[in-house]
């Protein structure tokens, strides 16, 4: 049984819930439990979309600095893969993923939020990558995902200075996608995820993989990835159901089965 991260499933939505008081510091154990929760969310057919949530007070204030402070270079060479792979496991969930951000999302917490497809934040939330103030750099995707999301110059400003980014600025630069009052963050994220509970799961998976993989390569290769995914969906029952329903009844009336 996981101690700090659990997957809660209700009505097609899985919530990956971080619960390590006081600030959800991301320790090696939390990394291990994040990978396990992401794997479970990926494998379960009753999970159609995922919310990543740290609770009402804080999303995650960063990696566990106390745990890392005494590590040698050789030890961190071995451990760094764990730091990165935990966040990547969330990014690779082949379903829509939304981060519900309250309080602080800093360092590793910000990197975890960046792994989601969409970020809904409290209007008093604070995000940032302050690792440079510790004499290091982001090590779980911050230098890569942040730059792809907000552009290289904004990412460099945030990472070089280590400054905190308040919610309004985060929205303005595209670091988050929506602001709501803090008390409404979880419900807003659940509502976003719930719209996919009866959607065409294989089409969503193909769309996410096409976008994510395409961003990692040149346009021509990205278009080929899209072409292959598009053609492959014609082998699915959901494609048959969707097109038959459209022809017979018009758009938006199909019942999908995830096959």
Q: For the chain, percent helix, then strand, then coil, each to nearest 5?
A: 50, 15, 30
Q: Which of 42-56, 76-90, 93-107, 224-238 has the lowest mean pLDDT?
A: 76-90
**Topology match between the domains 5-194 and 201-249:** no
Over residues 26-55, the mean pLDDT reads: 96
How much is the pLDDT for 68?
A: 84
Q: Which of 25, 193, 45 is nearest to 109 (CA)?
A: 25
> Catalytic one among 40, 111, 184, 209?
111
Overall CATH class of domain 5-194:
alpha beta
Mean pLDDT of the chain: 95
Convert the pLDDT of each residue in 125-168 to its tens digit: 999 999 999 999 999 999 999 999 999 999 999 999 999 999 99
CA pair distance 108, 20, nearest whole angstrom:
14
pTM: 0.94
How much is the pLDDT for 252?
A: 86
User: How many percent of the chain have pLDDT more than 70?
Assistant: 100
CA pair distance 75, 132, nearest whole angstrom:
20
Which is the CATH superfamily of the domain at 201-249?
Lyase 2-enoyl-coa Hydratase, Chain  A, domain 2 (1.10.12.10)
The answer to whether 168 is a known catalytic residue is: no
Cβ-proximal residues to 171 (8 Å cutoff; 6+ apart), any chain: 121, 177, 178, 179
The sign of the CA dihedral 210, 212, 215, 216 is: negative
The answer to whether 111 is a known catalytic residue is: yes
> Catalytic one among 40, 56, 75, 131?
131
How much is the pLDDT for 78?
A: 81
Cα torsion at 171, 177, 178, 179 (round to 10°)?
-40
What's the per-residue H, E or C state across 187-254?
A: HHHHHHHHCCCCCCHHHHHHHHHHHHHHHCCCHHHHHHHHHHHHHHHHHCHHHHHHHHHHHHHCCCCC
Phi (first) and psi of residue 64, to 5 degrees:
-75, 95
Over residues 17-38, the mean pLDDT reads: 95
Q: What ranges do the domains of the chain cover?
A: 5-194, 201-249
Convert the pLDDT of each residue in 217-241 to its tens digit: 999 999 999 999 999 999 999 999 9
Residue 25 has pLDDT above 80, yes or no: yes
How much is the pLDDT for 2?
A: 87
H or E segment and range at residue 7:
strand 5-10
- Other Cβ atoms within 10 Å of 21 Cβ, number: 10
């Amino acid at each position: 049984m996981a101690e700090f991260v659990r997957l809660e499933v209700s009505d097609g939505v899985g919530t990956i819930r971080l619960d390590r008081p006081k600030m959800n510091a991301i320790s090696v154990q939390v990394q291990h439990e994040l990978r396990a929760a992401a794997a479970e969310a990926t494998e379960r057919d009753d999970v159609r979309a995922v919310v990543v949530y740290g609770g009402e007070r804080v999303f995650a204030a960063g990696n566990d600095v106390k745990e890392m402070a005494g590590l040698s270079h050789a030890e961190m060479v071995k451990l760094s893969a764990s730091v990165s792979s935990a966040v990547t496991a969330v990014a690779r969930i082949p379903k829509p993923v939304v981060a519900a951000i309250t309080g602080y999302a800093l360092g590793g917490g910000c990197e975890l939020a960046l792994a989601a497809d969409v970020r809904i934040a409290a209007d008093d939330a604070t995000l940032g990558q302050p690792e440079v103030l510790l004499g290091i750099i982001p090590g779980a995707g911050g230098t890569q995902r942040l730059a792809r999301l907000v552009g290289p110059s904004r990412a460099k400003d945030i990472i070089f200075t280590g400054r905190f980014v308040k919610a309004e600025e985060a929205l303005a630069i595209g670091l988050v996608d929506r602001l709501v009052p803090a008390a409404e963050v979880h419900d807003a994220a659940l509502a976003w995820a719930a719209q996919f509970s009866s959607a065409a799961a294989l089409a969503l998976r193909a769309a996410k993989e096409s976008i994510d993989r395409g961003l990692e390569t040149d346009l021509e290769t990205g278009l080929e990835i899209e072409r292959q995914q598009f053609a492959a969906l014609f082998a699915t029952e959901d494609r048959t159901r969707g097109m038959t329903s459209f022809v017979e009844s018009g758009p938006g009336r199909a019942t999908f089965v995830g096959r």
